[in-house]
Structure 1
Amino acid sequence: MQNRTPRIPQQPAPNHRAEFDAGLTVELAAVVTGARRRALRDGDRQIDTAHLLHSLIESDPEVRTAFDGGPQLTRVLGYLVQRSIGYGLRWQGAVEDSGALPVVADSGAEGWSPSAASAMVGAYRRARSLGRERAGGVDLLAALTADRECRAVEVLGRAGVDAALLEDRIVEASPQG
């Protein structure tokens, strides 16, 4: 099957390392694929945390239950759609690196913003700490909300979602492994 996502000349396709895939559930791997398509469609050189958040909310029912009901989700999705149709132009061409979380040395995550690469590693570490071999969507959401300076948290804040409260709900709902 041919990829129908239009390619932008002089723009390398965002990619990721096989190590990321090896530690992901099938559902989270689909989220990453969706985020990659969104980055390409938006004309971004890198997958950033807002791309990940958008893909997570669209495709992972467990992530959607972490939010405090439908109105919050509606506001977040509305903001993300605005971003994808032009609001995010101020982010285009700028590398997302909040500096709040340490970037994994030599992550090899070409095509990923430093913050997004750190969030992926954080999701995997969280899953392992809970006794799971593979990271899922809620693990990634927890990693995103932990970085208070990333674009995903900026999106949440602009949509009226308190990232700290969201992170607390995720932690409280997590089974202890």
Structure 2
Amino acid sequence: MHSRIPRQSAHGPDSRRPDHSDHRDNDAMIGAELAAVFAGARRRSVRDRDPQIDTAHLLHSLLENDPEVREAFGGGPRMARLLGYLVQRSIGYGLRWQGTVEDSGELPVVREPGGLSPLAAVALERACARAASRGGDPARGVDLLAAIVVDGRARAVEVLTRAGIDTGELSARIEAGPWGLGDYAGGGEPGG
């Protein structure tokens, strides 16, 4: 059976991630909605002839597939501009990314076609950790978005900035909204 999410290949002990966990743990930590996001991002990376799925692919797929993520952005003209930048990736500014790897500095660069970029893999780890801190529910799209927007090296953050979206403000909106962790820390239900 194939994994629902792309994996980074490794040789020897896996010391690439701070918690030394195995990606199989993440398979159980993502829901069907997030699996669909990864499938969409994989199709987009293949179509764009990109070597790996990066955070901009994930952002685009999150916006297409997840109503909670769209709600976190709040709509408006900035959302239209953001989608415009994402659509132009294969014909515009994103061309300079072709043939390069979005590097996190935390994982070794592995050029596995169709796999996650190192920075996207770190974002997935963070999204799963965020979900675990909520009580073990599967990671959702807003968990992945929250994990992506906190890293200024992410291509998705560059796209957001070009579209006039303040990632600090977006992160605060996620945490203050029904998707935030504040309500979960005390064992309560989301948003109340």
- Normalized against structure 2, the TM-score is what? 0.77
Corresponding residue number in structure 2 for 1:95: 101
Secondary structure at 1:54's aligned position in 2? helix
Work out whether 1:143 is the aligned partner of 2:175: no
Structure 2 residue runs without a partner (length 5+): 8-22, 185-192
Give the Cα–Cα distance (whole angstroms) in 1 for the partners of residues 111 and 98 of structure 2: 18
Q: Give the aligned length.
A: 160
Q: Is 1:155–2:146 an aligned residue pair?
A: no
- Could you tell me how far 1:29 is from its partner in structure 2? 0.4
Cα distance in structure 2, aligned partners of 1:19 and 1:86: 37
**Residue 67 of structure 2: aligned partner:** 61
Dislocated runs of 4+, deviation >4 Å: none
Please point out which of 120, 128, 131 is paired with 1:127. 131
C-alpha distance in 2, partners of 1:132/1:73?
31
Q: Confirm or deny: 8 A CA contact 1:15 1:109 kept in the other structure.
A: no
Identity of aligned residues (%): 59
Partner SS state of residue 160, structure 1: coil
Tell me which moved more, 14-23 or 67-76: 14-23
Aligned-residue CA RMSD (Å): 2.2
> Which structure: larger Rg?
2
* Deviation for aligned residue 1:85: 3.1
SS at match of 2:47: helix
Q: Distance in 2 between matches of 1:122 and 1:95?
A: 19
Structure 1 stretches lacking a partner, 5+ long: 1-13
TM-score scaled by structure 1?
Answer: 0.83
